[in-house]
Amino acid sequence: MLESLEKYKTMKGQNKGNLTETALKRMGRSKRFASIPRYVEALIVADESMAKFHGDDLKHYLLTLMSVAARLYKHPSILNSINIVVVKFMVINEADKGPKVSSNAALTLRNFCTWQKKLNKHNDKHPEYWDTAILFTKQDLCGATTCDTLGMADVGTMCDSKRSCSVIEDDGLPSAFTTAHELGHVFNMPHDNVKACEEVFGKLRDNHMMSPTLIQIDRNNPWSACSAAIITDFLDSGHGDCLLDQPQKSLSLPDMLPGASYSLNRQCELAFGMGSKPCPYMQSCAKLWCTGKARGQLVCQTRHFPWADGTSCGDSKVCVRGACTDKQNATRNRVDGRWGAWGAFGACSRTCGGGVQLAKRDCNNPTPANGGKYCQGVRVKYRSCNLEPCPDTGKSFREEQCEAFNGFSLNTNRLAPSVVWVPKYSGVSPKDKCKLICRANGTGYFYVLAPKVKDGTPCSPDSPAVCVQGKCIRAGCDGKLSSNKKFDKCGVCGGDNRSCRKVSGLFTKPIHGYNFVVMLPVGASNIDIRQRGYKGMVNDDNYLAVKDTRGRYLLNGQYVVSAVERDITVRGGLLRYSGTATAVETLQATKPLKEPLTVEVLSVGKMTPPRVRYSFYIPKENKEERTLKKEGRANAQNSVLVENNKVELKKPPVRAPVSYKWTTGAWEECSVSCGSGLQRRLVQCLDPHGRPAINCDHTQRPNAMRACGDPCPIWNIGEWSHCSKTCGKGFKRRVLRCVTETGLLLPRDHCTGQRKPQELDFCVTKPC
């Protein structure tokens, strides 16, 4: 999270402005680094306890709460254009027709999420489709240890139809702030006191919307810099795309301030129950103190929130943000925001090889106010820098970033303390290409070691696109962002296809086993090899294979084939393999190879004839090279050395005894991530010149296969806690830990393959 926040550290002004035609085009293409209006379409649900307490005023009351929450999200301190709208309102008058609501906040949230998912429309374009659902209840909600919980939501679940939901305990008009707080969690905002926030922004004050305890919110600056940074990164990363469609129909939220609808007396009743009244001698508009009873005594109590905005505080005066103000000043003119000037470009992210510089602008000319529109358009622009190539170390920029974590074993006994990390390319979804996903070399284990690679890192070895702030951005083959230059068929950047010639051929007559098809030389580009299944069959027992100059198979060696798609990293780029589970098996690469490779076809089984077509491009030879090669061939007479027109016969060499030996390759990754699996390696017989042979002593052949695999992790179950209530129905919990067989603690997600025991359960110590 630190990297996500660091780039926003300087964004202290508010980001908003006008949407230019150019910005619209860029936003339509990528929606990256842009402020775009978002519409949170919400379902509002009230349970039976709410209906009983509020009666006929229930709908107006909840829409009033939503209007306050909507105003908070319109405040410029959030640095985004967020519009809260209600598309559907429901009341559950019979408990058996809605989700099961109990004091267990976590369980109630799970029940509600499951229930609302079944009711929602399947298409985001439907007028009644909601992006998030909110349940209001008068039930006293309890967390793991106390019953001080006022709301609960899962973090970062916006646009996840199964989990984008919140549960709110109604405690009067301050519930509007609870609603905004829980929606903040759905938008991925943590509490302001988390370590990631404090490391970037320092210790934050406890009067912002995402403080762990809502006491008194700074209405002039309700959202902290950390909250604004995280929601911006969340939306920039594409997690809020379901919010881009404008609602077709929605319920109108009250324009009146809440205090104009609910008197001071009613505010006390809403917060503390019927019969509660304002305490005397209160300071106008400050904290609301209301009467109540404790141990039979009349006491004053407070929720630490001021009188509601719009509450009368004197002749022609009302409360606004905790201060008594003239009524005519309570409603101020709306001010729409406009962008300020662009800032200077920052430092280049790389010293060579194509880095990136960023520049930002703020929405502060003017800053929006009183519900005015937030600026729309691009807030961050970027450009290329330091494009000169780096010295050739044989390693890519991504490899270097993975290697920086060498020896970092993630505190798991699955990995050796001397673990070596290499990039993982195959099986990575397009949206994750700019995460630093590395694999522990020699194993099948891979992890996200950083949420973002460094700016300027290529998205993949065979693509010119580069990563900028965690997003894959189009670039030219020259490494320049927004460049239109492309590699031609010859692999020349910006070339005209004239510097190479095409090589193509067909192979159809195999013998059993591995058959030579073609050698791909150094410089071969735009490689396209296709093996069509016999009569369109998927399993025709013919499989493409690739090996390097040392005879080591990079693909489908040792009679073991890959059914799934694979990316094979080679010097010069990437070979993309389709897997065997297709009627047309393909092997393709675009960039010029920097090492020669041999393509073979493995034919087994019924020996149905393969049909392997290949084509690639190789550089054209100039006339001087062709002349030299012809002369070389003319002078290379088998056993005759030609020098100065004199011919001397070579004596036949004395043949020494030939020794053959077995060689072994490195063990491949284990076939399973845990449990019982197999590892394979290349075992090959070589002659003294390093060429494949068959004359080795087969009784001395090393093993080509061995058992592997660590024991699978298990759940360690702790003791049940005491019941949360001394009488009546409460709940208890126990600690679950994901551990190795030896008791070493692992992250919980390592046990996802094991059935998870119950963590929470109901309990009754004794009847009340």
Q: Which residues are annotated as a binding site for Ca(2+)?
A: 41, 124, 131, 242, 245
- Residue 445: name the closest of 715, 752, 755, 670 by CA: 670
Q: Please, which contacts does 480-484 make with residues 24 or more away whose CB atoms are closer than 8 Å?
A: 480/354, 480/384, 480/387, 481/356, 481/382, 481/383, 481/384
Q: Are 129 and 161 in contact (CB under 8 A)?
A: no
Distance of CA 537 to the CA centre of its chain: 38
The tokens describing 384, both together, are 């290329």
Whether residue 190 contacts residue 208, with contact meaning beta carbons closer than 8 Å, is answered with no
Distance CA 405, CA 680 (A): 27
- Spacing of C-alpha 139 from chain mean position: 36
Asked if residues 594 and 571 have their Cβ atoms less than 8 Å apart, the reply is: yes
Query: Residues forming the annotated binding site?
Result: 41, 124, 131, 181, 185, 191, 242, 245
Instruction: Tell me what percent of the chain is helix, strand and coil, each rounded to the nearest 5.
Output: 20, 30, 50
Tell me how far apart the alpha carbons of residues 649 and 643 are, in angstroms, rounded to a whole number. Answer: 12
| Catalytic sites, residue numbers | 182
Known binding site for Zn(2+): residues? 181, 185, 191
Round to whole Å and give the CA distance between 702 and 386.
50
Residue 599's SS3 state is strand
What is the rounded CA–CA span in Å between residue 168 and residue 454? 40
E-assigned strands of 53-113?
A: 82-91
Biggest CA pair distance of the chain: 127
DSSP secondary structure code for residue 75 in this structure: S
Residue 3: which of 361, 455, 481 has the closest Cα?
Answer: 455
Contacts of 561 (CB under 8 A, 6+ apart): 543, 580, 602
